[in-house]
């Protein structure tokens, strides 16, 4: 199974402690094998080679080496080979030279078949020889010379010998792992010890039975493959399930669940040893463009490339995770200081710097990285994540690439940054609330619609207007949950009002970032059907600024949205340099004339001419004009005279809390309405 986090096969630097350890162990193992074979003698080996039994066992050992029982948590691990009962049976029957030689042949074959590097294979070979050597010493001490058929109480000696094999093998391997992954020895030993003991125990218990079978008939030996296949299959299945639960399907990287688990382990370890833990959050810049222009399959391949590159740029023991979309995290369970964390971040950025070639095109990837450290910035995973988030957001905003979380950098942005963290929480805890502003016909002053306007009921700062937090959401990955929140609080209201007979279209505003999200039509369609809202009850407002900046990118999404049956309106008209002719062909029903434009048209005669001709053109194009920000009766009349069919503004009604809407409609709105009193501004 693909595991980009597996860096265990990268050879150690010559002269490094790990290199020294591997080299000396390997040399010792080979020396032991050589000496024991020499003592055994070629004649006896040739004699044995004539026996079919040896060949049958060799086959079983090779198959067993190729089918190890993997430990569930580390699929990249060697696991416990199912060759153990046969290799150990050979040791019991013929001693170290034969068992060692057969095992060495099988290890070499398995190493080649599984694509292991040479240094890994020769180390494995030596490690087996040394472990068999230790087990053999116990047998020799207890009983003299092989061959030896166990029966009765002598089984105890076999058990002792098996235990010796287990311990020596564990020590030899885990010392290497501990050096490689820079974890303390006791941690390496302790990992899954119970499961390892169990699997090894089961396999060792078969060895004496294999010996008995060997003494009876060679044909009995292969029968042992049946229980081993059963054991192997069930272990593999459960390892696979656990792997799937902890890894991202697309990239094979760790998922959020595994990241949380490993971070928590790292934090408790760091707490005891007074060390630092680093959490890096990475977000690809402009990944959307690839997804949007070349489609998801290409985007997926790009993500896989990114995953591979990231996984190869970290040290063994570090964890790369994908959190979803184009967001990745890297856990550094041990990091010396902020400078080292920055170095890792720089290395990760360099790894992505080389363009990725897909479908014959080169893509330049850039990534923004936010760093937070334990214990400097946060005491737990949640906060660490939040701080790394904030740092990443600063990196994106300032285009610096890498930022370390720093609460004191500058006061202004600190307030904003902490607001960003709070917004995350607010979204999770439902602190956003929709207000609704009526839109009124200028002919008869009846309500013709409502506009949903988001507010944040901040626990300390009171009600915050959208400009304080929508841009924050827009510049971060929070946008999707923001859209979701807005839809999920507006649609049930619409459904309720329509079922009570207040059948007015309700408009929801969409920002550029929302319109650039290819999943937006799905979110809208799913919301409509979930809440039983007819599409004509929903209107979507798209700001003119978006049309000026992103017309080409958003047009396909606008068309898909209109296919759903929802109507569209062009918001804030007059704030950009949008020419209405460009709207031709787009299914826009209504143009909302921005409040600034409305004001100007009343104050200055030139403005009046411009607005008048714009409203004219709107009519010619088959759309209707709505005046925004109408604050006085005079403005309402003027806009009516210029040809606007409806208006919105405090002169008619301020944005209302949802609970006030029906009352307002009954008093002033969609029902019988006299042209006398108005609800005036708040
Ligand atoms: P907008 O869509 O143009 O909304 C109209 C704005 O005019 C609202 O500001 C409204 O409160 C304000 N307004 C109402 N009556 C008057 C008046 O008589 N005079 C003046 N000068 N203004 C009036 P608000 O609620 O602060 O929203 C500001 C902008 O934030 C909205 O402009 C819209 O672009 C954005 N926004 C609001 N809610 C959402 C949302 O749920 N999602 C997104 N993406 N953007 C939103
Ligand atoms: Mg609007
Ligand atoms: Mg507007």
Alpha helices per DSSP H over 41-184: 42-49, 52-66, 84-94, 96-113, 118-143, 155-181
Residue bearing the CA closest to ligand 1, atom 45: 509
Radius of gyration of the chain (CA): 36
Ligand nearest to the CA of 486: 1
Q: Which residue has the higher pLDDT, 472 or 132?
A: 132
Report how far ligand 3's centroid is from the alpha carbon of 480 (Å): 22
466, 573, 600: which to mutate for ligand 1, most atoms within 8 A of CB?
466
For residue range 51-68, list pLDDT tens digits in order. Answer: 999 999 999 999 999 998
Specify whether the CB–CB gap between 575 and 596 falls below 8 A. yes
Q: Which residues surround ligand 3, an ion (CB under 5 A)?
A: 571-572, 628
Model confidence at 480, pLDDT cuts 50, 70, 90, reads: confident
- 511 Cα nearest atom in ligand 1: 44
Specify whether the CB–CB gap between 31 and 128 falls below 8 A. no
Report how far ligand 1's centroid is from the alpha carbon of 446 (Å): 21
Report how far ligand 2's centroid is from the alpha carbon of 624 (Å): 15
For residue range 623-634, list pLDDT tens digits in order. Answer: 999 999 999 999
Ligand nearest to the CA of 511: 1
Q: CB of 626 closer than 6 A to ligand 1?
A: no
For residue range 369-425, list pLDDT tens digits in order. Answer: 999 999 989 899 988 988 898 888 788 777 789 999 987 554 445 566 677 778 888
> What's the confidence (pLDDT) of residue 145?
57
DSSP label of 355 = P
Report how far ligand 3's centroid is from the alpha carbon of 550 (Å): 18
What is the Cα–Cα distance from 490 to 487, expressed in whole angstroms? 5
Rounded to two decimals, the pTM is 0.53
Q: Residue 21 pLDDT > 50, yes or no?
A: yes
Q: CB of 465 closer than 6 A to ligand 1?
A: yes
Beta 646-647 vs 567-573: how paired, if at all? unpaired
Report how far ligand 1's centroid is from the alpha carbon of 595 (Å): 10
Helix (H, G, I), strand (E, B) or coil at 534: coil
> What's the confidence (pLDDT) of residue 24?
95
- Which single residue is written with the structure tokens 């119970």? 194
Ligand nearest to the CA of 656: 1
> What's the confidence (pLDDT) of residue 306?
94
Model confidence at 9, pLDDT cuts 50, 70, 90, reads: low
């Amino acid at each position: 199974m693909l595991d980009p986090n597996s860096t265990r096969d990268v050879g150690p630097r010559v002269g490094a402690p790990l290199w020294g350890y591997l080299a000396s162990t390997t040399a010792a193992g080979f020396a032991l094998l050589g000496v024991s074979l020499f003592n055994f003698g070629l004649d006896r080996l040739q004699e044995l080679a004539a026996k079919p039994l040896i060949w049958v066992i060799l086959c079983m050992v090779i198959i067993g080496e190729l089918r190890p029982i993997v430990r569930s948590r580390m699929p990249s691990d060697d696991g416990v080979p199912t060759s153990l009962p046969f290799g150990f049976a050979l040791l019991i029957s013929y001693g170290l030279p034969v068992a060692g030689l057969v095992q060495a042949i099988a290890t070499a074959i398995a190493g080649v078949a599984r694509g292991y590097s040479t240094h890994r294979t020769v180390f494995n070979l030596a490690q087996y020889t040394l472990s068999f050597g230790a087990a053999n010493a116990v047998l020799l001490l207890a009983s003299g010379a092989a061959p030896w058929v166990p029966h009765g109480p002598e089984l105890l000696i076999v058990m002792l010998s098996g235990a010796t094999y287990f311990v020596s093998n564990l020590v030899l391997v885990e010392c290497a792992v501990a050096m490689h992954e820079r974890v303390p020895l006791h941690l390496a030993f302790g990992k899954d010890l119970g499961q390892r003991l169990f699997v090894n125990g089961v396999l060792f218990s078969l060895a004496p039975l294999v010996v008995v079978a060997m003494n009876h008939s060679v044909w009995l030996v292969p029968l042992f493959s049946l229980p081993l296949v059963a054991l192997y299959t069930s272990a593999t299945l459960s390892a696979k399930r656990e792997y799937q639960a902890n890894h991202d399907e697309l990239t094979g990287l760790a998922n959020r669940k595994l990241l949380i688990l490993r971070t928590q382990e790292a934090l408790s370890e760091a707490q005891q040893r007074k060390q630092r833990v680093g959490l890096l959050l990475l977000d690809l810049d402009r990944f959307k463009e690839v997804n949007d222009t070349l489609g998801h399959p290409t985007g997926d391949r790009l993500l896989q490339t990114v995953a591979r590159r990231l996984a190869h740029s970290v040290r063994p023991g570090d964890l790369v995770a994908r959190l979803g979309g184009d967001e990745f995290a890297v856990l550094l369970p041990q990091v010396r200081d902020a400078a080292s964390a920055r170095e890792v971040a720089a290395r990760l950025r360099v790894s992505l710097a080389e363009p990725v070639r897909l479908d014959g095109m080169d893509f330049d990837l850039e990534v923004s990285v936010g760093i937070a450290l334990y214990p400097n910035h946060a005491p737990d995973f949640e906060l660490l994540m939040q701080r790394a988030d904030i740092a990443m957001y600063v990196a994106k905003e300032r285009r610096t690439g890498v930022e370390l979380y720093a609460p004191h950098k500058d006061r202004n942005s600190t307030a904003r940054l902490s607001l960003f963290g709070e917004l995350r929480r607010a979204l999770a805890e439902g602190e956003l609330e929709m207000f609704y502003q009526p839109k009124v016909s200028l002919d008869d002053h009846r309500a013709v619609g409502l506009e949903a306007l988001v507010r944040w009921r901040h626990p300390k700062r009171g009600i915050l207007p959208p400009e304080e937090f929508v841009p924050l959401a827009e510049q971060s990955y929070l946008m999707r949950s923001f859209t979701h929140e807005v839809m999920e609080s507006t649609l049930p209201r619409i459904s309720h009002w329509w079922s009570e007979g207040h059948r007015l279209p309700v408009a929801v505003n969409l920002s550029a970032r929302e319109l650039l999200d290819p999943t937006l039509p799905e979110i809208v369609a799913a919301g409509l059907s979930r809440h039983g809202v007819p599409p004509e009850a929903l209107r979507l407002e798209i700001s003119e600024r978006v049309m000026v900046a992103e017309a080409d990118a958003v047009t396909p999404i606008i068309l898909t949205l209109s296919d759903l049956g929802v109507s569209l309106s062009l918001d804030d008209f007059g704030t950009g340099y949008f020419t209405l002719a460009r709207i031709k062909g787009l299914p826009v029903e209504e143009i909302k004339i921005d409040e600034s434009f409305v004001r100007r048209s009343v104050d200055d005669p030139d403005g009046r001419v411009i607005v008048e001709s714009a409203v004219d053109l709107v009519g010619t194009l088959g759309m209707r004009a709505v005046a925004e920000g109408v604050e006085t009766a005079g403005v309402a009349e003027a806009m009516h005279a210029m040809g606007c069919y409806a208006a919105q503004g405090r002169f008619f009604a301020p944005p209302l809390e949802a609970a006030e809407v029906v009352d307002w409609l009954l008093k002033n709105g969609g029902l019988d309405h006299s042209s006398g009193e108005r609800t005036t501004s708040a």
